[in-house]
Copies of this chain bind each other. A is one copy, B any other.
Amino acid sequence: VSHFKLTLAYDGATFVGWQRQAAGVSIQGLLEDALARIDNGPVSVAGAGRTDAGVHALGQVASFALRREIDPETLRRALNAHLPPAIRVVDSAAADARFHARFDAKAKTYRYRIWNDEVLSPFERSFVWHFPSPRLDIQAMDTAARLLEGTHDFASFQGAGATTATTARTVWSSRVTGGPLITYEVCGSGFLKHMVRVMTGTLVDVGRGRRAPASIAAVLEGQSRACAGETAPASGLFLVGVSYESPDVKCLSK
């Protein structure tokens, strides 16, 4: 038995999300199917983050065990030959038998992209939230974003139907930059269901003047989904990377 840690990039536009489901094509499903062919039997894969339908990844991490012995580099090439071009294994490494991509994750970084101008490039249409108008106040959004940094109960930012035991999380870095391509980048210990998308929807409310930046404190205190803004579309969201070091050095240096 050999254990692996894979890093994957994918264009989520045409998938039902990371997680295998009864209907539709998932990234986990395609990866497990490809591994089953390589290992001549079923393989169960754990992913660091369950990205939703339409959400993309630059550095999703997956862990699993194979019956056969195989060189990580050979495995990477075999998987890229089996998987569609919308999913690429960018790194493959041998892992400790105890390594679990989700349970061992210490930090995740997400990036949300908004195109805040009238005409959206046809090449960006699956990779941003197109918010044509009004012009968003980036400074106000960044001020609000920074108020999300710290250890908080993020219950207000959790999507409906989530079954998480605790809603306390630590956000180390939460910053908004740019315009007309606006980037919201957030790094934290973990994220609740839809958390980054609800944060983004709330920050856009701030950017368009519907909420004051300081109101973020009240949204956190309210501990109710109704206090936060709308859930931003999946298309603009990227899982940038997952870190297994704590505290996360890359994250803290921001």
Contacts and interface: CB of A to CB of B under 8 A. Distances in A.
A246 interface: no
Interface residues of A, number: 18
A86 B88 CA distance: 24
A140 B121 CA distance: 34
B88 A9 contact: no
A125 B86 contact: yes
Nearest to A85: B125
Contact of A123 (B80, B119, B121, B127): B127
A10 B122 contact: yes
Contacts of A56: 123
Interface in A60-111: 80, 85-90
Contact of A88 (B11, B87, B121): B121
A36 interface: no
A120 interface: yes
Contacts of A9: 121-123
Contacts of A125: 11, 85-86
Q: How many chain copies?
A: 2
Contacts of A88: 119-122
Nearest to A76: B119
A11 B86 contact: no
A79 B58 CA distance: 34
Interface in A116-146: 119-123, 125, 127
B80 A119 contact: yes
Nearest to A127: B123
B85 A120 contact: yes
Interface in A209-237: none
B80 A122 contact: no
Contact of A11 (B85, B89, B119, B123): B123
A31 to B, nearest CB: 13
Interface of A: 9-11, 56, 80, 85-90, 119-123, 125, 127
Q: Which 5 A-B pairs have the closest CB atoms?
A: A85-B125, A11-B122, A86-B122, A88-B122, A10-B122
Given A11-B122, A80-B119, 14 more contacts: A9-B123, A10-B122, A56-B123, A85-B120, A85-B125, A86-B122, A86-B125, A88-B119, A88-B120, A88-B121, A88-B122, A89-B119, A90-B119, A123-B127
